[in-house]
Amino acid sequence: MLLFKSLQQNRSNFVYIMCFYAVLFTSCGESLEPTKTKNVEEPAKKLIYGYDAESVDIIKSTIKQNQSLSDLLYPYHISYQKINKIANAAKPVYDVRKLAAGQEYEIICTKDSTHKAKCLIYHLNAIDYAVYNFDDSVTVKMDKFKVSKVEKTATGIINSSLYKALVDSGNSPKLAIELSDVYAWQIDFFGIQKGDNFKIVFDNLYVNEEFIGVGDIKAASFFHKDTTFNAFRFEQDSIVEFFDEKGKSLKKAFLKAPLSYRRISSKFNPNRLHPILKRRMPHLGVDYAAPRGTPVYSIGDGEILKANYAGAAGNYVKIKHNSIYTTGYLHLLKYGKGIKPGVRVKQGQLIGYVGSTGRSTGPHLDFRIWKNGKAIDPLKLKAPSAKPIDIEYKALYFQKIEMYKKEMSI
């Protein structure tokens, strides 16, 4: 009996002790499990060309006239021996002899009293740059900034020029050049009229949120001489071109004009009074008045038949484009490089410069076109279209342009 009471008493004491500890740990907010440490993420380091921005200094400047690689790096404790090593390593990538005055560069230096250079960044343009790294071993590579695109829309009415209309509306003047290229076969932009209007969907390009230029034109609509010309960018067979709303190419067999001219001084006229001989003689071309030395381009692909002095015609180039069309370029000052009979030329290739050779009253280009051997008025030529959208791409093309048609209310 005494043994039983003793065991009972010991059990009661054990339960009491266990309850005491349970209350103690609970009241203190303790857990019997090990304490887990929470992971605290450190802020990400800002990297510039792969270097921690907080641990280096960056010197920004532009290349001065006649400044060499030695001029750039020697003041920052880079020996001539190492500079020579950098120059040799750069030759197959981007030769340091190409460093041009006016271009931006950056030197990455240590952030201590020595201010020793670790790397040179040379900017070829707003996107491409060369990296000359000599922190340890010497390495040279080309790289690009990440370019972001923002789609924009520009509209305007012509009062004096396309250029002014775009600039006045806050757009890059380069957009005028890009648009004139799109419509090179439809619209003579020297002849646009007051009241003509346009709408353009295009990309603006940015690097680090800084505007660097105009990107691709996606779609455009231009109203000129009571006609609306629509253009949509599309790629087929890895070739990017512009097509109209029916899928026909905007590119024609010929350029609208063979040069940038100031005015037409004389038109095609079978009964013109010759300004020098003072008698009636047919003028079988168009005279484009332009400054001496203005570049002259072939209006289409073809083969050069003549490139020689031809009496009254002066320095003269004649190009056969196909079995139907031939063009002539008269009174040239001189010929373009490599221009001679038998040479094939591409559309837009330089063939000569405006002059006043032969029988001429002043610098101009007398431009002529023959169709099936007969001279025709170049201003009335209706050149055939280039290749339209292939059948296999048509469904994709019409689907893609639908959103642009709605945006421009076509």
What per-residue confidence (pLDDT) applies to 271?
66
> Is it the case that residue 109 has pLDDT exceeding 60?
yes
Tens digit of each residue's pLDDT (9 = 90 or more) over 270-329: 666 555 656 667 788 999 999 999 999 999 988 999 999 999 999 999 999 887 889 999
- Which residues fall within 8 angstroms of residue 30, CB to CB, at 6 or more apart? none
What per-residue confidence (pLDDT) applies to 147?
95
Domain 148-243 in CATH 3.10.450.350: yes
H-run or E-run covering 166: helix 162-168
Q: Look at the alpha carbons of 98, 101, 105, 109 in this order and tell me if their dihedral is positive or negative.
A: positive
Q: Using an 8 Å Cβ cutoff, are 72 and 61 in contact?
A: no
**What average pLDDT does range 13-24 have in this prediction?**
46
Q: Using an 8 Å Cβ cutoff, are 188 and 225 in contact?
A: no
**Cα gap 134→107, rounded to integer Å:** 11
Please tell me the least confidently modeled range out of 121-130, 263-272, 368-377.
263-272
**Cα gap 328→310, rounded to integer Å:** 12
**What average pLDDT does range 87-104 have in this prediction?**
96
Whole-structure pTM value: 0.61
What per-residue confidence (pLDDT) applies to 268?
76
What per-residue confidence (pLDDT) applies to 38?
54
Q: Which of 256, 258, 229 is nearest to 244 (CA)?
A: 229
**Cα gap 203→182, rounded to integer Å:** 15
Q: Look at the alpha carbons of 215, 216, 219, 224 in this order and tell me if their dihedral is positive or negative.
A: positive
Token readout for 63 is: 């290349």
Please tell me the least confidently modeled range out of 227-231, 241-245, 265-269.
265-269
Instruction: Tell me the CATH number for domain 263-379.
Output: 2.70.70.10
Tens digit of each residue's pLDDT (9 = 90 or more) over 110-129: 999 899 999 999 999 999 99
Please tell me the least confidently modeled range out of 113-122, 154-163, 343-352, 375-384.
375-384
**Cα gap 326→339, rounded to integer Å:** 16
Q: Does 17 or 73 have the greater pLDDT score?
A: 73
Task: Locate the DSSP E strands across 188-324.
Answer: 197-207, 210-224, 227-236, 239-243, 263-266, 269-273, 280-283, 286-289, 295-297, 302-309, 315-320
What per-residue confidence (pLDDT) applies to 100?
95
What per-residue confidence (pLDDT) applies to 338?
96
Tell me the domain boundaries of the chain. Answer: 49-144, 148-243, 263-379
Please tell me the least confidently modeled range out of 18-22, 161-165, 178-182, 359-363.
18-22
Residue 101 Cα distances to 78, 119, 127, 205, angstroms: 21, 19, 18, 25
> Is it the case that residue 11 has pLDDT exceeding 60?
no
Fold equal for 148-243 and 263-379: no
Q: Which of 231, 334, 361, 349 is nearest to 298 (CA)?
A: 349
130 φ, ψ (degrees, to nearest 5): -105, 140
Please give the share of the chain, as a percent, with pLDDT higher than 70: 86
CATH of 49-144, picked from 3.10.450.350, 2.40.50.140, 3.50.50.60, 3.10.310.40, is: 3.10.450.350
